[in-house]
Amino acid sequence: MPANAYVTLVTNHDYADAAIALIRSLVLTGTSADIVVMHTGAVEAADLEPLKALGARCVEAGLLDTSAEFNARHQRDRLHADAPFTKGNKPAFHTPLDNFAKLRLWELEEYDNIVFLDADTIVIRNIDRLFGYPEFSAAPNVYESLADFHRLNSGVFAAKPSKQTFAAMMRRLDGPDARFWRRTDQTFLQEFFPDWHGLPVFDNMLQYVWFNMPDLWEWTSVRVIHYQYEKPWQADHPKRDRLQPLIDLWQAYRTGEAIPDIDALPNPAAPA
């Protein structure tokens, strides 16, 4: 039998705490795959204990050994100035350079197939079928209009670990002719895998679909919810009034209490 694993990345206390909801949601789907948490040195050991208690395997993964020039181009203030976010707000604890550390999953050669999930996702029904998808498979970055279908979102993707692939990635990422990766790992992965395979949007449903494209949201089809931009654990959530049903659902998975029947939830109302 192939060795399969769901993998996420935590780079600080906020994402380690958020991963509790993700891991609990995966366990509740009844998956038999391993659940792996890659963590950087910025995560305290105590923050990993709740993840281990839920059955996750924790693996240390250092930040990439990128050049000083690369790091300067992609540090938070520089990147946000050169490629400002205009659709939503990135929280203060978000550090763009950390995004590239997810490439470390290609070093996990003990697994044949990996499905990567950002720590700010929850899985609300079984997605084990994704282990059978080819490398590289990702859902489109759809949250505003159908025009978004040409861009991938790296919050959920299927991959095949290979240190040879990882080495090739590093040469492309930060070689002599390396450029500015505007959307960090997403831009890089789309260029590295130009013939990427598309997953259904329901396997990585971005939360802004809830109010931007409500006709696309159907609870009986949604499998993964991705809380892009504002996070459901933020006290000062600027879109809380518009996303409250999704925030409440995330909180239920985070605490493990009163998780609702997903198929019975009301779909978002279309604008009048």
Task: Write down the domain spans for the chain.
Answer: 4-264
Fold classification of 4-264 is Spore Coat Polysaccharide Biosynthesis Protein SpsA; Chain A (3.90.550)
What mean pLDDT value characterizes the chain?
91
Residue 22's pLDDT band, with cuts at 50, 70 and 90, is very high
Mean pLDDT of 266-271: 84
**DSSP state string for 132-171:** GSPSSEEEE--SS-GGGGGSEEEEEEEE---HHHHHHHHH
What pLDDT shows up at residue 270? 67
Q: 9 with 61: CB under 8 angstroms?
A: yes
Question: For the segment 176-224, what is each residue's pLDDT rounded down to a tens digit?
Answer: 666 677 678 999 999 999 999 999 999 999 999 999 999 999 999 999 9
Q: Which long-range contacts (CB under 8 A, 24 or more apart) does 64-68 make?
A: 64/100, 64/101, 64/103, 64/104, 64/170, 64/173, 64/174, 65/170, 66/97, 66/100, 66/173, 66/174, 67/174
Q: What is the dihedral of CA 205, 210, 216, 219, to 10 degrees?
A: 70
Fill in the amino acid letter for 28.
L
Kindly tell me if the per-residue pLDDT of 271 is higher than 80: no
Using omega within 30 degrees of 0 as the cis cutoff, is the peptide bond preceding 131 cis?
A: no
Question: For the segment 80-114, what is each residue's pLDDT rounded down to a tens digit?
Answer: 444 454 555 555 545 778 889 999 999 999 999 99
Residue 69's pLDDT band, with cuts at 50, 70 and 90, is confident
